Structure 1
Amino acid sequence: MDIQASAHAAALWAGLCLILLVVLAVLVTRQRRKHSVELGDGGVPALTRAIRAFGNATEYVPAALAGLALLALVGAPPLLIHPIGLILFVGRVLHAVGLSRSSAATLARAAGVLATWVSLIAMAAALIFYAFP
């Protein structure tokens, strides 16, 4: 198995997820400046949603990126890493969009959670499979 190709696949999704984190952080900063809130959410619903969208991403993305990196290290094929990375990334984007627009349950938010969990379960299953050579 070409570990370098696997690493390149994982690097793509890691890079995209990191860009997403930066975008979400910038959105928090924009809301803070717009509403002159330096700490906490100031009771501003839009800022609360931006903080939660960023916070939720930071809760899931690091573990998922570790999973992708480990898949690359054990030589999982890029054709396994790419779909998992895509599902993870799309899930995180959907969740962030859904949560940023409304604090109520939304289709985008639910689909984002489901996609994130599917990617994590797929990673876990693949890692367990590759743990036994």
Structure 2
Amino acid sequence: MDATPSAHAAALWVGLHLILLLVLSVLVVRQRRRHRVLLGDADIPQLAQAVRAFGNATEYVPAGLVAIAVLAMAGAPPMVVHLTGLTLLAGRLAHAVGLSRSGGASVLRSAGAILTWLAYILGGVALIFYAIP
């Protein structure tokens, strides 16, 4: 059986988000090795920022990927899947970059949070719409 265009769209965004999580994980390992820290962040700001960038992504990405996958299964048009995936990825990238540059408030962190919430809203509304026969 051939996959639908929506399934292909979902596969793209799931794959890109998995790569993002892998990159963020590697950045944590890199900081741990640099500072010789096996557990926690040892109050080292760069390590704490890397840990939080990865941790924050792992808090938000899974639910977004579930939304993307269910949208594809529910028969949402590929454009809806792409828009949700792109918004989520842009938000997570912006947030990770903003957090890795500064532990405090930043434009990129704020933009990342807003884009992530927009992806959640878009995905949630679309799921409700496609759930109604």
TM interval, shorter chain, is over 0.9
Give the aligned partner of residue 117 of structure 1.
117
Give 1:115's aligned amino acid.
L
Q: Tell me how far apart the structure 2 counterparts of residues 43 and 7 of structure 1 sit (CA, whole Å).
A: 43
Structure 1 residues 62-77: aligned runs within 5 Å: 62-77=62-77
Number of matched pairs: 132
* TM-score normalized with structure 1 length: 0.97
Give 1:110's aligned amino acid.
S
Give the aligned partner of residue 32 of structure 2.
32
Give the aligned partner of residue 14 of structure 1.
14
Aligned to 2:4, what secondary structure does the other structure show? Answer: helix
Q: Tell me how far apart the structure 2 counterparts of residues 129 and 3 of structure 1 sit (CA, whole Å).
A: 22
* TM-score normalized with structure 2 length: 0.97
Identity %: 61
Aligned to 1:104, what secondary structure does the other structure show? Answer: coil
How far did 1:3 drift?
6.4
How far did 1:72 drift?
0.2
Structure 1 portions without partners, runs of 5+: none
* 1:3/1:73 contact within 8 Å kept: no
Give the aligned partner of residue 88 of structure 2.
88
How far did 1:79 drift?
1.1
Q: Tell me how far apart the structure 2 counterparts of residues 86 and 127 of structure 1 sit (CA, whole Å).
A: 17
Runs in 1 of length 4+ with deviation above 3 angstroms? none
